[in-house]
Every structure is written in structure tokens, then in C-alpha cells.
Structure 1
Amino acid sequence: MATPTVALLPVWGAGHLMSMLEAGKRLLARGGRALSLTVLVMRPPTEHEARDVDGHIRREEAADGVRFVRLPAVEPPRDAVGIEEFVSRFVQLHAPHVRAAVSALQASPAPAAALVIDFFCTTLLDVARDLAVPAYVYFTSNASMLALFLRLPSLHEEVTVEFEEMDGAAVHVPGLPPLPPTCLPNPVMDKKNPNYTWFVYHGRRFAETDGVIVNTAAELERSVLAAIADGRCTRGLRAPAVYPIGPVISFDPPRPDEQPPHECARWLDAQPPASVVLLCFGSVGFFDAPRGHEVARGLERSGHRFLWVLRGPPSPGSRYPSDANLAELLPDGFLERTKGRGLVWPTKAPQKEILAHAAVGGFVTHAGWNSILESLWSGVPMAPWPLYAEQHLNAFTLVAYMGVAVAMKVDRKRNNFVEAAELERAVKELMGGGEEGTKAREKATEMKAACRNAVEEGGSSYAALQRLAEELCTKK
């Protein structure tokens, strides 16, 4: 008899797709020969994204027990006002194709033991329910963000004004310190915006699932996970079962012996241990000239060694950064004045490899959750510079909840601008001997051990993944 399969439905962004694929492969390993994986692939809305997804799939297709099923393309919505509404509606248009694909699995010798969907895909819970297939959400962000999602339907009723109009009152999310409204995710800051409506919708529907799989470890967010389990985030609704299985990090295969190390790694080899601050801002983070000049001034005045992955504004029609034109984005003479203690890298860089290098002692990050996990995995303290999505909440939790970061003043009203003097101060604190930086380094070292222990046999995430695999095996 064929092995029952777990159907995965990721969205196409690299931070979502690769995380879910890696989680699926770990689940496959825990389930042994009792499970297989079927990945349902939505064709992304742009050719650039489609090429990226095709490249990821080509690298993964050889994995044992993993099969990819490409869904028919759909026409993207043209009137969406933001990325959250766009993705949610685009996914919703795939419902007939997902239904057909899962129905085909159910009629095959290898029926679906479960459908695991990205957290933007909760409209498709109706498909799973109609076909009597257990449904789980894979949550690529942290438990703190999950708690906010679950709390949001109640907050929507309790807070009748915009959150930023709460007259200094804090937003209360069980398990977290009182949350300043200015730290809420971008889509939550305007209740009249459809993006907010979709966040409330997804948060309500999480309670209908058979469980939520979260890319975190119990040791990182223990009080938040306890609050979710106790039902304090879902007042009046059933609390979903939560499986914290992280950190889920997909590591690139080792370079062949004959292949030289990346140029950034070779530059780091010549630097003293823990002496370099890395600045890197995710797959869609970029700087224009005014912001680039401001950062350069702050770095130069800090006196510290740095590796700055600098990307330029997207080309017309694209949302992805271009390779940086250093002559436009940097002040005159900056590269000459910082030669020897700084490297500006104008294109993509191997962030995980860089963070793991002994020369890196701090990380100025956009506070995307995948980047945070990579930093914690290597025990590198951070200075968060949030840019979009849930990153303002992540920045708050890094400083006020986890204690692994140095706070940095980010002017949200000026499109998340950071003054040169503030960057200089944060880098000096992060890399120097100040109390805040010292505590962040000590806590990051603790978190490094906690992350690695969690995924080892006998660790908390290992056990959560084992429980999930056993549960799915009983549903076949």
C-alpha cells in the first residue's frame, strides 16, 4: 500500500516557501516511512517570482518522499490595496484548483493525511473541511505574532478607535509585556484598510484548524506559548493546538572543496573575532540615496568594522531590490575613508554563512523572523531596524521580551528613517562594552544554546515535531 501523504500549500515568497519545505522535510524524517510529502505549488503572480520558485523546486525535487504538484495559474487581483490583501485574495482564487488536487489525492492509493497551509491561506480551510481532511496552519513568524493574530478579533471589538489613537494606553497581548501601539504590524495600523480586515479574518480562522505549526522554540517564547495554550489569546473561541518546531532554518549545502569561499567570507577571515557588525535588510529591503548617505555617516562615525549588504531601489515594475550603484548611494570618499575596516557588498550575500563567521559580533537587521532565527542560531545580538510587515512587533519582542537586542529609534512617520547619530549610538552600544550591549550579547549566547538544544533529539522542538508526526500517522 502507498504511503499516505501530507499536502503542503506554501505561498511563493522565499521566507515562506523555503521555511515550509524545510519543516516538511523534518516532518518526513520524524514520520519515517509512514508519511510522504506532496507540495502544491501556486504559480506566483510575476515572472521574477516564478523563476525563483522554479529554481527552489529544481533544487528540492530530488529529495526522497517529496513530490511537487503545480496548480493551474490564476489571474491576480488588480485592485488590491496592499500585499496582505493581494496575497489573501490571490490564494483564495486557487480554491477550485486546491480542491481538485486534494480530491485527486483522496482518490489515489496515497490519500492526504493532512493539508498544511501557509497562514495567508486560511480561506482554503473550507476546502479541507468539505473534503474531511485535517487542516493545519504553518506559521512562518513567531509565537508573539501568532498571539496577536489570535487576539486581534477580540481587540477589534474592544478598541473602537485606531490603535495609535489610544491616548498612550498599551495593547495587551497575553504572554507579552504591554505593547505600545506604535509597535504593531503595518497592516494593523489602519482599521479602514482591507489589509487589517484580512488580518482579523485570518486570526479568527486559526481557531478552526487542527493545529498551528510555529517556527519557534518553546525556550524562546515560553510565556506566549503558555498564554495561547491556556486560551487567553482566544477569548470565547477554542484555542488551537500549537506545535513549536523551530528554529526551522534551511541551510545551503556545503561548498565543494574546490570552490573558493564567498568574497564576504574571505574578507571576514582577515578581521578579529566578534569585531564586525553586519547590516543586511532582507529580500525586499533597499535604500535610496538619502538613506544610504545617512547610514554611511553613522557607520563611519561609529569607528567599528562593518559589512554592509547594500541594495538599491527596485527596477520599474519590480518589488525586488536592484544591485546597488555605490556611486549614487554612498557619500563621496566613504569607501576610501573606511577601507580596511568596512566592506560594502552591492548584491545578494550568503547571510547565514556570514552570521556564522567568528568575526561577526552584531547584526543590524530589518527584524524579519527568518533573519532573527539565523542570528540567534549563531548567537549574534541584534539592533532591529524594522521596515515592513510584522517587523515592528518583532523589534519590540527582541528588545523588551527576549532581551537579545539593542533598541534603535526608528521614525515610523518618516518611512522608518534612522538618523546617522542614532545608528552610530546603536552600533557603539551593540559592539562596545555598554550595559545594554553586554546584556544582549549574553542573552544571545544563551539563545544560541537553547535553539540548538531544542532541535536535537530530546529537545522541545524535536518532541513537538514527533508529536505532530505521530498525530498525522494516526489520521491516515
Structure 2
Amino acid sequence: MAASPTPTLVLVPEWGTGHLMSMLESCKRILLCGRRARSFSITLLIMRPPTAQATSEVEAHVRREAASGLDIRFHRLPAVEPPADAAGVEEFIARYIQLHAPHVREAVAGMSCPVAALVLDLFATPMVDVARDLGVPSYVFMSSTGAMLALMLHLPVLHQVVTVEFSQVDGEVVHVPGLPPIPPESMPCPVVDKKSPNYTWFLRLGHSFMDATGIIANTADELEPGALAAVADGRAVPGRPAPPVYPVGPVLSLGSSDRRKDSSEPPHECVAWLDAQPPASVVFLCFGSMGWFEAAQVVEITAALERCGHRFLWVLRGPPSSESGAGAPDGSEHPTDAKLEELLPEGFLQRTEGKGLVWPTWVPQKDILAHPAVGGFVTHAGWNSVLESLWHGLPMAPWPLYAEQHLNAFELVADMGVAVPLKVDRKRDNFVEAANLERAVKCLMGEEGRKARERAAEMRDVCRNAVNKGGSSDAALQRLSEALHHGSVLPPTM
């Protein structure tokens, strides 16, 4: 008797690395977990990204995963015309993804094996309708925080209760169940203007979350107990039970950072430089794959680093060019390699030689965060970077730039206690004055930051214990695997 075909998890990711790889790494854990019972495969539905730079990155990920030896299949969806009239980044992404819905439906219906579930990026959440029509379970993958999840679920309620802009609320704070009162300036970028299409789309996404079979979250119960409890016990959406949430994180592709001792490859030049520095003496400044600064901001950073007196490793990127995505409709304006002689004040490199290193291009961030010479992290507060920092027990000074990063920064300081505050002028395009950065770095690396360092060290153990066998995230993964095994599946087409 022929064996039954292996059920597949069909993934619909957004093309950005932080979304795509976080989702894929999480589902690979499900695949490996499933091997202990009834196995799964993974089918990745690939949309053509709207920029050449993003396309190149996606293809690099596909080549790497195709060579992994895991049961991962790739299905390229037909190209669609990007919306030309989108007013904002989030609206563009959501609309562009939604245009693929007919192709997703066709791809899923045509699978030659049972479909265990459709796993949707948060921007693809309206496709729960596609899954429902096909009789397939749907799971939203939340690549951001539990706090952002609670906010998105609660946003339709807030929309009814708060009739003015959040910046005009009484008491000057926004109340979201499970979170400390949020200052309006810490609200995520897509919701700061209720008149914008971005806000309208986030309302729709918040509604759609409630129609999913479940929610897979890249966090851990112990990292964000308040937010996750508020979702689980129904406070996020009063009167309607939310789908079950499976916090399976931190999900990280650590690469060489945990295997460096076994590697025969020479270390990256930045890592070699760190090898010569005293333990916990270096502050690391890095702002993600899309983080870059104008010349005026660079001057403020250099002044702060000279005055604070601490050793530093600073990843400084140059402004995007048209070839790297400047003006890209999806907001993916990829920085270029920095021309240090043009961006840095005259004499800065000479004055800081031996004490600081400015690096103008990509760095192996995970290897750097794992290095014992690094004592603190000035970060844009993207969730993947935050999780990498917590995995290695490093305190942070968050400098949010876009998306939900302002909420992340607030949570790191006010709720988790793993970061020191940095005064960011949101009205001036997140400008930070030299005195404020100097103060934050001194706090982060000095006695004032001791509590944040201690708390970050505790979170290191929390993160690792959560994903170890018997930990809370391992248990959530087991529950998710069981739910997928027992959920309804779409039979193969005849």
C-alpha cells in the first residue's frame, strides 16, 4: 500500500528579510518537530518583490534554503502590477500582497499533497478568506512583538473609543490591555495618522487576525507575559475570543555566532578588531538593513562618541542610490556602502584610532553581539535585532526609525527593563542630538545602566530556557504541531 503524501505547510511571506526568514525559520522548527510524529514539508510561495534589490535578496535566501537538505519546496507566483497610487509604505505592501490572492488560491488548490495550513505574513492576513474558502486552516505569523500583536488586535476597539488622533488623547497616554500606558509618541508609525490609508489597512489587518485559526508569534511567554496574557484571556478584544497564540520564539538563525570556535574560517575584520578589546568595553551601534543617516545626524553621532570616551564599533551606511532602492514604493530604501571620507568630520578617524572602528558596509551582527568585548547595543529596535541582543544578554539604547520600532523601544525600556532611554525627536525625523546620545551611551556602559545590564542577562537565560526542551516555547511548538496534525487538510486534487 502506497504511503500517504506528506502534508505541507504553505507559507505566504512578505519579501523583506526580517519577515521572510523569521517565518521560514519558525516553520522549519515545526517541520523538525513534526518528524517525531507525522512529518510536514514546507512550500514557500514566492512573490516577485517590487524592487531589484529585494529580488536579489529573496533569490539568495531561496538558493541557501534549497541547499539545506530540508523538505522545502518553492512555488513562484505569477507577477502582478504593483499599485501605483499607494499613499504610504504599509498600504503599498498590504495592497501588493493582496493582489496575489487569486494566485495563492490557485496554487493551494493545485497542490499535489494535503495542505496542513496556510501560514500568512501579518500583511497577508486578509488571505484567511482564501484559506476558509478552501477548507484549510490559516495561521498568522507575527514577526514582531507580543505588544504589537496586542495593539493590532485591540486597534479596532481603540478606533471606536478614541475618536481623536492618539496624540490628542486625554491624559496623553494610550491604553492597550497588557501594556503599560503608551505615550502617543511611542505609537507605531502606521497608526499615528488616522486619516492615512496606512491606518485604515492596519484596522483591517487587526480585524483579520481574529478570523485566523491561530497566531504563531516570534516571542516567548516569559519575555512579554502581560501582552500575551491580555490576548489569551480576551482582554485585547472584549467579547470575542482571540485565536490561540503560539509563542515559539526567540526564533533566530544564529549562523556562526554560536559555532565560531569550531570554524576554520578567519573572523570578519570587525570581529578580529573586537578580539583585541577588553571584555564588555565596546558599545556597538548598528541600525538594521535599512538604517542610514543624513550628514547632520552623522556629525551629532561623532561628537557624542568622542565625548563619551567609550570604545565603539559603529556601522555607518550611506544614503540609498536609485539602484539600491531610493524611493522604492515598499519603503525598502537600502543604504549604500558609506564613503567615510565624505560623511565623517575631518580628523575623526585619526582622533579615535585604536579606540573606535567605523565600518561602512555589512557586518555579521550576530557574531558581534556574541563577542565578549561588546557591552551594549545602540539599535534601531527592530525585533530581530532585539531578540539577537537578548539572546546574548546585551542591554540596549533603542533609537527607533520606522515601522513599529517606537513601540518596541518603549517596551524595552518601560516594560522589559533591558534598555536605557534615548531621547529621539520624532518630529525631526527621529533626530538625536549629540548630548542625548552621549548621555545614553554613558548610562548604557556605566553604573547607571547596571539594572538594564542585569535584566538583559536575566533575559538571556529566559530566551534560551524557553526554546530548550521542556521550555515554554518548546511546549508551544509541540501544541502547534499537534494542532496542525489534527487540523483539517485539503485533500490532493484528483
Partner of 1:320: 334
From 414, 437, 446, the equivalent of 2:458 is 446
SS in 2 for 1:236: coil
SS in 2 for 1:121: helix
Q: 1:167 deviation in Å?
A: 4.3
1:345-395 Cα shifts (integer Å, max 9, x gaps): 000111111000000000000000000000000000000000000000000
Partner of 2:399: 385
Q: 1:258 deviation in Å?
A: 4.1
Separation in structure 2 between the aligned mates of residue 94 and residue 237 of structure 1, nearest angstrom:
30
Partner of 1:172: 175
Partner of 2:328: none
Partner of 2:469: 457
Partner of 1:363: 377
Could you tell me whether the CA contact under 8 Å between 1:35 and 1:473 is conserved in 2? no
From 49, 53, 63, the equivalent of 1:44 is 49
- Confirm or deny that 1:336 pairs with 2:347: no
1:391-428 Cα shifts (integer Å, max 9, x gaps): 00000000000000000100000100000001000000
Q: 1:329 deviation in Å?
A: 1.5
Separation in structure 2 between the aligned mates of residue 90 and residue 216 of structure 1, nearest angstrom:
27
- Confirm or deny that 1:103 pairs with 2:115: no
SS in 1 for 2:223: coil
Separation in structure 1 between the aligned mates of residue 374 and residue 293 of structure 2, nearest angstrom:
22
Q: How does 1:274-353 map to 2 (within 5 A)?
A: 274-316=280-322, 318=325, 319-353=333-367
- Amino acid corresponding to residue 252 of structure 2 in structure 1: I
Distance 1:336 1:390, change over 3 A: same
- Amino acid corresponding to residue 457 of structure 1 in structure 2: K
Q: 1:252 deviation in Å?
A: 2.1
CA RMSD of aligned residues (A): 1.1
- Amino acid corresponding to residue 86 of structure 1 in structure 2: F
1:437-459 Cα shifts (integer Å, max 9, x gaps): 00000000000000000000000
1:200-219 Cα shifts (integer Å, max 9, x gaps): 11011101011110000111
SS in 1 for 2:447: coil
- Confirm or deny that 1:373 pairs with 2:387: yes
- Confirm or deny that 1:429 pairs with 2:435: no
Separation in structure 1 between the aligned mates of residue 350 and residue 285 of structure 2, nearest angstrom:
19
- Confirm or deny that 1:125 pairs with 2:137: no
Partner of 2:279: 273
- Confirm or deny that 1:185 pairs with 2:197: no
Which structure 1 residue ranges, 5 or more long, are not aligned?
Answer: none
Separation in structure 2 between the aligned mates of residue 75 and residue 205 of structure 1, nearest angstrom:
24
Partner of 1:112: 115
SS in 2 for 1:208: coil
SS in 2 for 1:34: coil
Which structure 2 residue ranges, 5 or more long, are not aligned?
Answer: 326-332, 490-494
1:155-192 Cα shifts (integer Å, max 9, x gaps): 01111111111244311111111111111001111000
Partner of 2:221: 218
Q: 1:316 deviation in Å?
A: 2.4
Separation in structure 2 between the aligned mates of residue 326 and residue 159 of structure 1, nearest angstrom:
47
Q: How does 1:34-73 map to 2 (within 5 A)?
A: 34-62=39-67, 63-73=69-79
Q: 1:96 deviation in Å?
A: 1.0
Partner of 2:492: none
From 21, 24, 29, the equivalent of 1:26 is 29
Separation in structure 1 between the aligned mates of residue 289 and residue 39 of structure 2, nearest angstrom:
36
TM-score (norm 2): 0.94
Percentage of matched positions with identical amino acids: 65
